[in-house]
Structure 1
Amino acid sequence: MLVSQILKTKGDLVFTAQPDQTLAEVAGLLHSRRVGALVVLDADRVVGIVSERDLVRAVAETGAEALSRPVSGCMTRDVHYAEPGETVDHLLARMTDRRVRHLPVCRNERLVGLVSIGDLVKSKISEVEAEADGLKAYIAAG
């Protein structure tokens, strides 16, 4: 299955933050949107991604004062991307190797979606279940 197929089902809505927003604001957005990460945009350009892990790391390192600092200070700047034509298997391997849970999806350097490891696992499970059902039907038909 391709990332573009996941986005057709899931949708292309991506929750974002701006580099100058405080970590407290970002924590509120993560909570209210019920997501694990936000893509950080400067105008229309992806400049980072901030996750719950980044937030926890910042607070653990500097205490509650971290919440008043801008997200640009703790976001992940080395963003790994996905392209719409990439396969789920390829992205699962990349995410595992790089220990990331979210990948912004870009086409021609424009943000077009976001996939999480949960999205990919859900897709893979559906694919395996469909294959198993097909095999059962084949065997039952004799």
Structure 2
Amino acid sequence: MNLRPSPRKSPGVDVTPLIDVVFLLLIFFMVSTTFERESQIMIELPEATGEEVEHKKDELDITINISGTFFVNQREVVNTEIETLKQAIRNAIGDQHDLPVIINADARTPHQSVMTAMDAASQLGLTKMTFSAHRPISE
């Protein structure tokens, strides 16, 4: 006869299924996440080769310098917020919503500043946009 009581196992939580669930969640998030590579590409923008275009008086001129500061018809905009730029454009165009927009951007201007200017103009109904460039200096 065996009179000794059998050793009891201490109660515990089986974590094997938990490990499986965590592993599946890890795989799910790795597959469903989109990765963006954010970098700035340093390039030299090409110079224009073509005919010069005469500027008309009834057009909107948006100039962006290297630091991203906006100028609307040669008047500096207070800051680089899109709402401020839209207000400056509204003041410049009045009730003329068919004016052509000429964007003069420095070659080293961040592209986000150019996109902000294009967004502000298009949100106000200005759809005729063009970019200006300079003719290369002949040696």
- TM-score normalised by the shorter chain: which range applies? under 0.3
Structure index of larger Rg: 2
Q: Relative contact order: is structure 1 or structure 2 higher (C-alpha 8 Å, sep ≥ 6)?
A: 1
Give 1 or 2: higher strand fraction: 1
Give 1 or 2: higher helix fraction: 1
